[in-house]
Chain A
Amino acid sequence: MISFESVTKRFPDGTTAVDNLNLEVPEGDLSVLVGPSGCGKTTTLRMINRMIEATSGRIVVDGRDVATVDPPELRRRIGYVIQQVGLFPHRTIAENIGTVPELVGWDRRRTRDRVGELLELVGLPAEVRDRYPHQLSGGQRQRVGVARALAVDPPIMLMDEPFGAVDPIVRSRLQDEFLRLQQEVRKTIVFVTHDIDEAIKMGDRIAIFRQGGHLEQYADPAELLADPASDFVADFLGAERGLKRLALIPVSAVKAEAGPVVDPDDDGRRALAAAEAYGSDWVVVVDGDRRLLGWAHAGEAAERGRVGDAELRPFQLQVRADDSLRAALNAMVQSRTGVAVRVSDGDRYEGIVTLELLSKEIS
């Protein structure tokens, strides 16, 4: 656990970078520090491993006041990843990853085994071991940076815009990979970004800072989006706060409606009646095993006499229990029916999700 107790940082030129900060990062959680430039988020991060010294207050890491620990000693137990990665250009990838093991005096064999393990963990082929950093792509270098930070399995990781220097596609992949990795390693992580979407995606908890180093709100993403503590926070979260909230809520959180469901062998008039009862002009066609076949115009089914004789149109986008409500909304706006159809992993029909259900959930 990391805790800030009334921590203030004033620079010699008189600017206050961090103003009386109180913050607790629970063990095994990823806390994101986010805010506009000049809000003190990076300063806050760097005070944890004493790259910057606090002016007053206490920072306690695993029960010890960091001010009482020799800085190199302290830093070897805290992983550190920065945007520019900062790999050592004169050392091979294996040597880069083995940096902290070497500093703390591991023997060669143990370091070599650990490097192999880490390359696998971050998804790099073993062949990169003996390459130099400039021979790797930006995304690969970033993975090496993460592996290097994890080398001696430190309980704590500090990450300063770690995915900021790669293109959006690679960034998104690195974020996903890192979240998976974090499920496995469960580090206590402090993560700095200026990108609120990244914060919402990555954070178990988010601390929003304002210029001058004020902590405005510290809460989990859903709470933050549902209940911003100030206009500043609301502004910072942006105009699409509702959409961002939807992205965090799983489809399983709302009870899907049964919907106008008919069997292909049903009479067309039954389809018309089901549609009218539901208030639509279409029906969901499901076979005897509740497998989703598609949807049909109720009027067309009535004309043909049998549901199965009408044209069956597929639902292009279907959602599952663990998809987000945002995905459900996307399915709605892309479908002629205006609803999202929910299916199980075995493609069995589970019901439909409507716009009313969504707005009820987030209002």
Chain B
Amino acid sequence: MSSGPAPPLAAEVIRWSWIGDHLDDIRGNLVQHVELTGLAVLFGLLLAFPLALAAIRWPRLYGPILGFTGVLFTIPSLALFILLIPFTGLQIQTALIGLTIYTLLILVRNIVEGLRGVDQDVREAAQAMGYTPARQLFQVELPLALPVIMAGVRIATVTTIGLVTVTALIGWGGLGQLFIEGFTLDFTTPILVGIVLSALLAFAADLLLVGLQQRLTPWARSGR
């Protein structure tokens, strides 16, 4: 508590000139953040689909699959990355493997629940119309499961955007790089920039996905 006139505190917390000088770095970090997130969610979906389909085809597998992805989900992220380093080194693969693993639980569960939630009568009608099983999956069941699957993709994306800041510790951190820089230099500006941008990124990504979902599911919007 000081009784004197308040110093220009804001100027010390955030130095605008630093931002201006480092725009290119910040942009690079942001792009990397987006890339890591996008790739992790994409690989997550590619892995989650076969797992989810297997869980539906053989319901006895669902428990073990959920259990396994659940255990992976509980490993502290820092520990997971450190565990991976001996195998994959300080490369982008290490970050991506870890990030992808964390998306699996959410994605597998939402794909399975989405597909299971498709009305039995609709399924039966599709079969009786003469759909082959594969065509039925892609043209009837997946479109109808989309709202639930997209809910999973949104959670996975936002979670991953947060996690990418942790992978900065192994050198692939997107905006997380700014945190490290800030802590190392004991300088708050990059930290604040990192926080604000990653929050904005998460918000923007979520909004984008909601928009995408609405475009993909026009039937869910049209009122009575």
Contact = CB atoms under 8 A, between A and B. Distances in A.
B224 A135 contact: yes
B124 A76 contact: no
Contact of B125 (A72, A80, A131): A80
Interface stretch (A86-94, A121-129, A296-304): A86-94
Dominant SS among interface residues on chain A? mixed
B91 interface: no
B39 to A, nearest CB: 29
Contacts of B132: 72
Interface in B116-166: 119, 121-132, 135, 140, 143-144
B224 A76 contact: no
A192 interface: no
A65 interface: no
Contacts of B135: 103
B140 A88 contact: yes
Nearest to A145: B125
B130 A82 contact: no
Given A80-B125, A132-B222, 20 more contacts: A49-B128, A51-B127, A71-B130, A75-B127, A75-B128, A75-B130, A82-B121, A82-B125, A85-B121, A85-B125, A86-B124, A86-B125, A88-B140, A89-B122, A90-B140, A90-B217, A90-B219, A103-B130, A103-B135, A104-B130
A309 B132 CA distance: 79
Q: How large is the interface on A (under 10, 10 to 19, 20 to 34, 35 or more residues)?
A: 20 to 34
Nearest to B118: A89
A100 B129 contact: yes
A84 interface: yes
23 contacts: A51-B128, A72-B131, A73-B130, A82-B124, A82-B125, A85-B121, A85-B125, A86-B121, A86-B122, A86-B123, A86-B125, A87-B125, A88-B122, A89-B122, A89-B219, A90-B140, A90-B143, A99-B129, A103-B129, A104-B130, A135-B222, A135-B224, A158-B128
B153 to A, nearest CB: 18
B146 to A, nearest CB: 8
Contact of A91 (B119, B131, B219, B222): B219
Nearest to A49: B128
B130 to A, nearest CB: 4
Contacts of A100: 129-130
B128 A88 contact: no
A89 B121 contact: no
Q: Most A CB atoms within 10 A — which of B123, B127, B128, B131? A: B128
A80 B222 contact: no
Contacts of B129: 75-76, 80, 99-100, 103, 148
A104 B129 CA distance: 10
Interface in A62-112: 71-76, 78, 80, 82, 84-91, 99-100, 103-104
A12 to B, nearest CB: 16
Contacts of A88: 122, 125-126, 140, 144
A255 interface: no
B131 A103 contact: yes
Nearest to A99: B129
Contacts of A135: 222-224
